[in-house]
Each structure stands twice: as C-alpha cells, then as structure tokens.
Structure 1
Amino acid sequence: MAPATSRLVDRGRTAGRLRISMLSAEDYVRRVKRATGLEVVVQEGGRVIAESLPRATATAGRRLPAGGDVELAGSTYRLVGFEAPGFEGGSVAIRLLGRDPDTSSRAIVVAALAGFLLLAFSFALAVSRSLQAQVGRLLDAARRMSRGDFDVVVPTEGDDEFAALGSEFNQMASQLQARVQELQLERARLQDAIRRVGESFAKGLDRDALLDIVVKTAVDGVGADCGRAVVQDGDGASVEVARSGDVSARRVALEEVEAAAASSARAVEITHNGTSALAQPLSSSEGEHVLGLISVARASRPFTEPERELFNYLASQAAVSVENVDLHETVQRQAVTDELTGLFNHRRFQEVMALEIERTRRFGSDMGLILLDMDDFKKVNDTYGHMQGDLVLREVARVLRESAREIDEPARYGGEEMAVALPQTDLDGAYRFAERVRRRIEALELPILDGERPGTLRVTASFGAAALPSNEDAGRDALVAAADAALYEAKRSGKNRTVKAG
C-alpha cells in the first residue's frame, strides 16, 4: 500500500522501474484495528485483499459501499471509507466498520482519520527512504567527482526537483570533464612552449633555428594550419627560412598577406577563398627597415582578437631576437674585419693561417701565400692626402676579393700591406694568382678626390709568392717569412712585379 517508485539504471540506461511499499495490507489492517478497535477491510478492484472481520462474518468478497450501514452475518455495521493509491496506477478501497449500531459517527470519523494518517505515514516513510536513496546517489557522485572521476552519471527519475537536480549535476559533470580535457591540452601546449623557450636559449644566436621555434609556437598558439618565416637575402629577395605545417596548401593566401604586410610595414589579416591568413613584419627597434616576415594561415574561420594579439606579441619578440642576432654577427664580423678595406684583419689572418696549415699537414695538400705592398704609397698620401690613400686601399682590396676563390682568405696585413692565404695551392699557382692581381691593380684608374687636380691616379704593387709543399714540415712563421723575403726582393728589383720565394 502507498507504494514509492524508483528507476532501475544499468550503465546509465533505464533498465526498469521498481515500485515498493513499506506496509502490507495485512499489517495495515492489524495496526488500524489495534489503534481504533474498529474492523478494517481493504479491497482492490472489488476483491478483498485483507480484513479484520472474523471468518463467520467475513465479507466473502462482497463489495462494500463507501459509507452508511451494512449488514454482515446478521450484524449491522456502520462504515466509512476512503481510497488510497495502489500499484500500477490503481487504487485500494479502505473501509472502517463499527459493529455497535450506536457507535457515534464521530468515533467512526476519528478512526477513519487515524487510518488515513497511518497510511500517510507509511507513504511518507517510503518517500523519505526514496529521497534518502537519491540524496545518497548525489552524495556518492559528488565524492567521485572530488576524486577526479567525471564519468559519473546520476540517475534522473520523473519530473520532480530531484530529477532536475540530477540532470543539472550530470550536465555540470560533463562540462567539468570537457574543461579538464581542455586544461590538459593547454598544459601540454604550455609544456611544449616552455621546451621551445629552452631551445631558443640554446639557439639564441642561430637566426634560422630561432625563427623555426617562433613559427612553430605561433602556429600552435593561434591554432593555425601552417606558418612560415621569410627573410631578405643580400639581393633583397625573400627567402623562406622556417616553416610549420603544410604551407603549400595555403601558399597563395600566405604570399598575398605577406605582400600586404611588407608594403604597409604593419600586421595584416586577409581572407582568400575561405583561408584566413595573418602576417607581421619583423621590424628593427627603430622601425627603419624590415628584417623579415612571419605569417600563419588556417581554413574555415578567421582569427580572433586574442589570437591576433598573441601572434603580434610573438612576432614582436622574434623581431627583437633577430635584431640581436644581427647585432651579434655584426660585432663578430667587426672583431675580425678591417674597417677600411672590409678584408680580414691581421688577427683573423693569423688564425686562418694556423688552421689552414694544420689542415695541410693532416690531408697532405699544398698551402700558398702571397704578400703585396703598394708601391710609393707614402707619396700618394703626401701628394693627394689620406682620403685619396684610403680610396686606393679600398680599390685594391676590392680587386683582391674579386680575384680570390671562396676558399681563399684575403686580409689586410698592416698599413698598405695585404696578404692572401691560398689553400690547396702550390708555388706556381700562388705566383699566377699574384700576377693576375698585379695586372688588375696596374690597370686601375682612380679618380683624384682633390677637385683642383685634373686626370686620374694610377698605382702599382709588388708581390712576394711562397708555398708550403705537402712534404715539408715548416710552420706558419716560415711560410710568412718566405713570402716576406720574396716581397722584399720584388721591391729591391724595381717594384711592380712578383717574385717567387726560394
């Protein structure tokens, strides 16, 4: 009687419903009779399922009215009745009977009320236990969530507040699980970014490696499909030095946005055939020139404002890093380069000579060397001034660079004296090289910087050529001394000539 209903759940799906009553019809009859002294009859669907009447006066299946007087086995009873909920949506009829015809109606009513209260108490008890079960499930689910288990599902039954609470709880668990997954993904990205920052410290002076890290970080940071970095070579042409993802699939959009960013000298975003692309110039700190460009692209959706801000930040930091690399390379170059001629300085020349001679000994090759000295250079300075002398040295240095191979090392040895280290070159090869340079210097026609003097200036130089044969164990000093002696002989013999050592 007064059943409560609970849904049976198997792995998140409804497997059935359980209806249970905490009070049987027989117990109800006994309790009401004990409390009121009245006879009790419980009927369901016209059938008696429990009664307190003695067998001799039993109703024998007779359907009793809801009120009034009724005669059973020769005895008259006054009765009152009411309906109570039963199983499967049905109801049960409860009848209270007083045997004494003089029993007061008030006593019957009081008895009926007591029976109804007993029934209500039983129903409340069943509901309370059902609520306790639902609260217990919610509490268990909350404890599991506190341990990080977001797969928990709370059963939702019916349309009451507990069902709504369970539904909200399940939705919250699902949202938390999705958020945890997003945080795990963000954590992985952060770890990767930290790893790349560490790599950038190790590669801080390698421009291409640094830009490779920046491009990969930008692609991941803004959720792009691909990206790349381009810089300008010595001829002003754009050269790709780093990429991430399939650039070929978005090449048209990348080239379009890079052209727009280069011409405007600022960050630009464009959309081309469904592809969104971002590009930002890598400008110097003073903004005087563009060091390169970084661009990213993706299909299906444009970039958001936070993504654009992150990309601009990364590009700005990359510009600072690239400028620092350029500055470092400039300082390094200045440390080994003669400022006036652009050739290696004396210190760098000595280092190169030591390395090349060591390589010669290791691999059994020849090593050539020429020394040259400008003829009558002091007279040039005294007659035309030191600016004219500087022009002469720069033009002679240009001839040396243009005449040398990639493996040769021209240097300013000191004053108006210059040298060229010639790896893998024997004495005859060194002599031919010196003669070729001598003739080109002799053919120079240099403008006179003093505007008051008409005509052009012609200069000559003397050369000494020496070589370190592969079968000799002489060192750097011996080779330089041999070339210097040959140069002295060329000067003593009349200048503007080449003399072989030995």
Structure 2
Amino acid sequence: MTLRGRLTAAFLAVVLGPVLLGAFFVGATMAAVDDSRATERLGLAAAGVRTSVDALCQQLRAAADAVALVTDPAARHRAADQVVGRGLAAAVLTIDSAGTTNYATPGGPARPWQECSSDPPATGPVRALAAEVQLRDPAGADLGTVTAAQSVDPAFVARLAAVTGVAVTLLDDPAGTDPVTLTTETREVRAAVLAAARTVDGDRVTETVDGRYVRRVGPSPGQPLPLVLSVPAERPPGLHVALVGAVVLAALLAVLAAWRLARVTTRPLMELAGAVDRVAHGDLTARVPVRSRDEIGRLAGAFNRMTRETGSYVAALTSSRDQLRGHLAVLGDTLASTHDLQRILRVILHSAIAATGARAGAVLLLDGDGVLVGQCVEGLDGRRPGDDGSDPATLRVPAGTGVVGTVAATGEPLCGRWEPADPPTGEPTCETYIAVPFAAPGAAELAGRGDPDRPGHPPADDDATPAASGALGVLALYDRLGAEEFADDDLVTLRTFAAHAAVAVENVRVHEETQRLSLTDPLTGLWNYRYLRESIRREVERANRFGRMLSVLALDLDRFKDVNDTWGHAAGDAVLVEFARRVRGEIREVDLAFRQGGEEFVVLLPETDARGATIVAERLGAVVRDQPVPVDGHGGEPVRVAVTVSIGIAVYPDHAAGGQQVLDAADDALYAAKAAGRDGYRLAQPPDPPPTREIPVVVATVSPPDGLPRAGTPDTSGGGQGGASSGPHPPRQSRGR
C-alpha cells in the first residue's frame, strides 16, 4: 500500500471510528432499553397471569365446597345446578367413593380437566381447570368427591390477555411441540412465538426474529397452564436503517477529505522519494525543492545537506578503503607466507593502528598462569613508569584486572575514557582506549559468552575467567588521532584485526602441535624414530663442536611377547606406557628418550661418559625390576606383571665415529646383554684401531717461498717437521654421571 493509501486509511479510521462507535452505542443503548422495558412488562404480565389463574382456582374450590356442604343428594344436585347457573363454574361433577359419577351438570366442558393443584399431563390439550373437594357425611365418612370446572377456551385466553396487557398463547402440549390452539397472536407471528417458546425455559426472556419478546409462564404449583406471553419491541421502526445511512454519508465525506489531505501531504514526499532514488543510483547531485517551512520542508532541507556532506564522505571513505585494502593485502601475504608469530602480530598491530588512527597499541597473549604478556607494542614509550617500551614482555597484566584483564576474562570488548586504577594494574596510561579479545575459531560459541548487541558492556559475572570466555589474548589501542573517543566503526574494524590475530595464533599453535605429533610416539608420548635420527645427528655435531661425550642407551623389554600372549595387547600397551613414564622419571631434562619401535627404546645422554651411562642404566634396570606393572588381567581382575629390561651402552666418540655407528654399537651391546641372560646392561667394545704405516720424510727440507710448511719439502730453517699424523685422536674430556 502506498503512503497516500495509508494516510487515507488512517484519516478514515480517525473519522469513521467515532461515527461507527457512536452508531453502535446508540443502537446498543436503545436495544438495551427496549430489552429492559420488555422484560419488565413480561414480568408484570406473568404476575398477573398467576394471580388470575389462582383467583379462578379459588373460585372453583369455593363452588365445590358449597355443593359438598349439602347433605341431601337431591338438594346437592340442585345446588350444583345453581352454581353453574350463577356462572361460578362451567360444570359440577359428583363422584361416590366407588368412583361412580352420581351427578354431572349438563353442558360441561370436554375432558380432560386440569386439577389446579396437580401437575399437567405430559401430552394432550387442557380443556378446563378444575377444583376437587372431598364429600363427607356428618360423621366424617368419605362419600366421594365434588369437582367444579371452568372451561379453558379462547374467551378464557382473551380475558387473561386483557388482564395482563400482553398477548397470551396456551400451548396444547406443555413441552411446546404441538400446534397452538388457543392464542391472541395473529397468524403471522404465531409460528415465530411458538418457535421462540420452544427454546426458552424458566423465567428467561428471548427475542423472536421479527422483534417480539417472549416469556413462558408455568406450568407451576397454583398455575398449571403452559402459557406463553409476548409483547412487540418498542424500538422506533427504521432505526437501524437511519443509523446505517448516517454512517454511509459520513464515510463518503471522510473519503473525499482524506483523499485531498493525502494528496497535499504526499506530493513533496514523492519528490523526496524520487531524489532518494537518484541518490541510490549514485547521483549525489540530486536536490529536493523546499516548498514550505513545515516538517516536510525541513526534511527536504536536511536531505539536501545530507547529499552534499555524503559526497565529501564518499571521497574520504574511498581513500580510507584503498588504504585499508593495502593493509589487508600486507596482512594476508604475511599470514600466508610465515609461521613467525611475532612478525604476524607486529603486522596486525601496525595495520590496526593505521586503520583506526590510534597513537599506540599492544597485542597481549595469555600465558599458562593466566597473565596477559605483551608480545608486540607500538607507541608505548613513556606511558608506563620506569619502562621505555622497548621490551614487550615487560607489559604484564593479570587476567581479570584492569581494562585488558577484564576483556580477557569476560570475552567482551571495552572502549571509553581511561580511569586510573588503584592499585595500578601495570597497563599503559592514556586518555581513551579500545580493547577487543580474540579467541580460537569457535571458542566464543562454545563459551556462550558473546553478546554482539552490547559492545563495551561486559556481563555481570563474578566468576568470569579467560578459560570461560575462550580468549587467547587482547588487542588494545590507545588515544585515537583527531577524535576524543573511539567510535563503533573502530570497534568493528578492530574486531576484524582481532579475528586475524586469533587465526594467526591458532595456526602457529596448530603448526607446532602438528610438528610435535609428527615427532612423538602416540602411545608412550616419547619421541619417535624419525626424531631420533635428527637428534642423534644434532647431538653428535654438538659433541664435536664442544669436545664433549654423548652416551647412547639401547633398551629392550625382556620377554615382552610373553606379556602380550598371556595378558593381551591392552596389558602390553599399559606396560609400555608405564615403562616410558619411569624412563622419563630417571633422566635429566636435557636427556632425550625415544621409542624406536615395539618394545625397543633409545635414550640419549648428552655430556655423559661411560661411567655416567652405566649409573643411569643401573637405575633404569632397578626401577623397572623392583616395581611390577599393574595391568587388567583376565576377567578384569588387576594383576601385577614383573618386567625387566636389557640395556646396551655406547659412547661417542669412544665406541663410534658417527651417529648411526654409535646407535649400532649400542644395539650390539644390547644383544650382548640379551645373550648374557637379560635384566642387565653391557658396554660396547671399543672399535679396532685402524692400521698405520710410516711415511718417509725428506731430510734437510727447506721452507717454500710462501713460508707455509708442506710435507716432503725442504725447510731451510730446519725448525720442525710438517705433515699429517694418522695416529689416534687425543683423548677427549669426559664428564661423569
């Protein structure tokens, strides 16, 4: 629906609403008044009917008593005729005690007669009302009954209608299902009155379809006739037609006025809509004519100012967009090309500062103790007492304290003006700040803490922790250039860079974890054979460089196949895990333990000679031998499995000249320990010395012109012998263990 249509509808609702309500109120009020008056008239008529019928019954009862008082039968018959002749009853009937009719006045009404004091029959017409009295002799003996009756005919019904002032209808059937025989209603309204009478019960008043009010009276004690009273409604004829006509006329006038008002109102709005559409298609030169000083005129003026300022904003935004694209391109290249976390965080921080115009900023990550530690900072020189800002790690804020600590604990961003804390939290001082948390992808949803509709307002949760919020760290900026405080746009921008920081941290952690998993044994957690080859090469190079020794222990669990065959592979895995744990407990931090495969293990002992290696081997043998390993046996019952280990020891460079050779030497020593009965260690044998031969040296050699001695050349100075010796290397220094 257009605006003009809505305005027209609103005006019609405002105008026609009261008109319709007024018409409804008038009609409802008059209907209520008519209902009340009709109910009152029918109530009075019902009382009149009961009084008239009761009076008739009393009259009949008095006539019957007069006849019953006569003792002589012949005189009793004459008295009955006199009662009928005087009009006190339409008929008198005497019946003896045996039920035989002794006398009945001639010309009486047809049967059945309705006794005044008894209930009417369920069906059938009522032809007369009767009153019955007992006939007794002077001694009080029962001689029978005397009944006086009065006809119930149209004349009777007419008399009731005259007494009550309403139309009276006598139902042949008390249930109201038989055709009406006695009524003062016209033929046209008889059926409607009868239909309404069938639906009403008790003293309730109902209305017929042609506007008459109907009420049933009786049968009841003292009034046994089933009567229906009805009166016509007193509402003026044509009332509803007049009300409908008034409403229609008011509606026509309201439509004309609403159409005119809507047209005048919507014309400037249509001009404004056209200008807005042009702006939406990129035409920022569109203007709206200002035709008045009312609200619409002010709206047109504001639109014209908005389009002028929007042109300036678009130019500035285009420049900012290009600059932001450049920063994002650099950030994307950095994220894609390196796993250097410090470099990535520096690029993110620099880009965030450039995009928001901040003077300074910092990226902090949570350590294992729940403390935020600075990873990279920019522009924080002189913002903390005693700190020149050169070392980011000096920026340390416990989670839950200060601005950045609260952000990390709650997972909600904060921005505003700085208020110094007491005691100081170690954060940089500033005038304004904005801080956004960043978490691993999916952590915010799992924690259930985020509330994007309330930025800058942390939830009221006294138990908030970094683990609950899922935060990895915080990206904070300080003192925006050219503005007093950071805006909502800055918050959106900073969220973007925080998301990049989260991805970078997570990628680096995943990369490190992947490297660790590729170099460790999944069952025991020790280094695997791949890392063994790399480590032995590195440790041999280090031993060469610093003139140290390197001891290698090759370990093999004795009769491990029997453990698997007896207790199952699950028990064997438990033994391997426990053995690896005991090995780690007996070596230094600088020592390296590896699982070479199956039940074979290797331990590298840097800067350790043969004596120190044998001490370690003895301790490892004892700790394995003296403490059986508890495992789940058959049926789930725990059992303790006794395990021993055989160990071969080789020392570089005493037993080999390279990394693989020293491993082979330790392996040979291991086989020797196995052959010697297991549960012990053996030291590798030194290699055989290489054969030597004498090299002749020319006598009376002299030095060459360049002064450098050479083998086999004369040395004029005669100051010594040149040449290379193939003898054994001088002994290296060793450190006992």
Q: CA deviation at 1:366?
A: 1.7
Amino acid at match of 2:675: R
2:657 to 452, 458, 474: 474
Match of 2:377 in 1: 243
Q: Are 1:292 and 2:472 an aligned pair?
A: yes
Of 351, 356, 368, the residue aligned with 1:217 is: 351
SS at 1:448's partner residue? strand
Quick one: distance in 2 between partners of 1:238 and 1:392? 41
1:487 aligned to 656, 659, 670, which one?
670
Counterpart contact for 1:291–1:323, Cα < 8 Å: no
Q: Which amino acid aligns with 2:351?
A: T
Q: Distance in 2 between matches of 1:235 and 1:445?
A: 37
Unaligned residue ranges in structure 1 (runs of 5+): 1-171
Distance 1:454 1:360, change over 3 A: closer
Residues 181-196 of structure 1 aligned to structure 2 (within 5 Å): 195=330
Q: 1:464 aligned to 638, 644, 648, which one?
A: 648
| Equivalent position amino acid for 2:683 in 1 | K
SS in 2 for 1:249: coil
Q: 1:477 Cα deviation (Å)?
A: 3.2
Residues 1:376 and 2:559 aligned together: yes
Against the structure 1 CA distance between its residues 206 and 398, is the aligned structure 2 distance closer, same or farther, given a 3 Å change threshold?
farther
Residue of structure 2 equivalent to 1:231: 365
Separation of aligned partners in 1, 2:536 and 2:589:
15
When residues 270 and 462 of structure 1 are mapped into structure 2, their CA distance, relative to the original with a 3 A threshold, is farther
Length-normalised TM-score, structure 2: 0.40
Query: CA offset at residue 476 of structure 1?
Result: 2.7
Give the superposition deviation at 1:488.
Answer: 1.8
**Aligned partners of 1:253, 1:439: CA distance in 2, in Å?**
45
Distance 2:663 2:334 in 1: 44
1:316 maps onto 2:499 in alignment: yes
Per-residue deviation, 1:389: 1.6
Confirm or deny: 8 A CA contact 2:372 2:473 kept in the other structure: no
CA distance in 2 between partners of 1:437 and 1:268 (Å): 56
Unaligned runs of 5+ in 2: 1-307, 385-394, 420-430, 447-466, 686-737
In structure 1, the residue matched to 2:415 is 269
1:243–1:385: structure 2 CA closer, same or farther, 3 Å change rule? farther
* 2-structure distance, mates of 1:270, 1:384: 67
Q: Residues 375-454 of structure 1 correspond to what in structure 2 (within 5 A)?
A: 375-444=558-627, 446-450=629-633, 452-454=636-638
2:645/2:680 contact within 8 Å kept: yes
The answer to whether the Cα contact below 8 Å between 2:632 and 2:638 also exists between their aligned partners in 1 is no
**CA distance in structure 1 between the aligned counterparts of 2:477 and 2:616, rounded to whole angstroms:** 53
Cα deviation, 1:208-246, whole Å, max 9, x if unaligned, reads 332232223223322334333333445555443222231
Residue by residue, what CA displacement relative to the aligned partner does 1:318-368 show, whole Å, maximum 9, x if unpaired?
A: 212222222222222222211111112112211221232233334433221
Distance 1:253 1:459, change over 3 A: closer
Aligned: 1:326 with 2:502: no
Query: Relative to structure 1, is the Cα distance of residues 213 and 360 closer, same or farther in structure 2, using a 3 angstrom cutoff?
Result: same
Contact 2:434 2:491 survives alignment (8 Å): no
Q: Encode CA deviations 1:452-502: one digit per residue, 9 max, x unaligned.
A: 4245444321211111226x7622332122211221222233322222112
Pick closer, same or farther for the CA change 1:377–1:239 going to 2, 3 Å.
farther
Relative to structure 1, is the Cα distance of residues 497 and 248 closer, same or farther in structure 2, using a 3 angstrom cutoff? farther
Query: Distance in 2 between the 1:183 and 1:304 partners?
Result: 19
2-side partners of 1:415 and 1:321: how far apart?
38
Residue 414 (structure 1) shift: 1.0
- Higher relative contact order (Cα pairs below 8 Å, separated by 6+ residues): 1
- CA contact under 8 A between 1:426 and 1:469: conserved in structure 2? no
Determine the C-alpha separation between the residues in 2 that align with 1:253 and 1:398: 34
**What letter matches 2:492 in structure 1?**
E
Tell me the SS of whatever aligns to 2:358: coil
TM (norm. structure 1) is 0.56
**Which residue of structure 1 aligns with residue 439 of structure 2?**
282
Counterpart contact for 1:464–1:498, Cα < 8 Å: yes
For the pair shown, the structure with the greater C-alpha radius of gyration is 2
CA RMSD for the aligned pairs? 3.6
Structure 1 position 372, deviation (Å): 0.7
Aligned pair partner of 2:404 in 258, 266, 269 = 258
Q: Are the equivalent residues in 2 in contact too, given 1:253–1:275 (CA < 8 A)? A: no
In the aligned structure 1, how far is the partner of 2:381 from the partner of 2:639?
A: 58
Identity %: 32
Q: Verify the 8 A CA contact 2:341 2:508 in the aligned structure 1.
A: yes
Tell me how far 1:309 sits from its aligned partner: 0.5
Tell me the equivalent position of 1:205: 339
How far 1:187 sits from its partner (Å)? 7.5
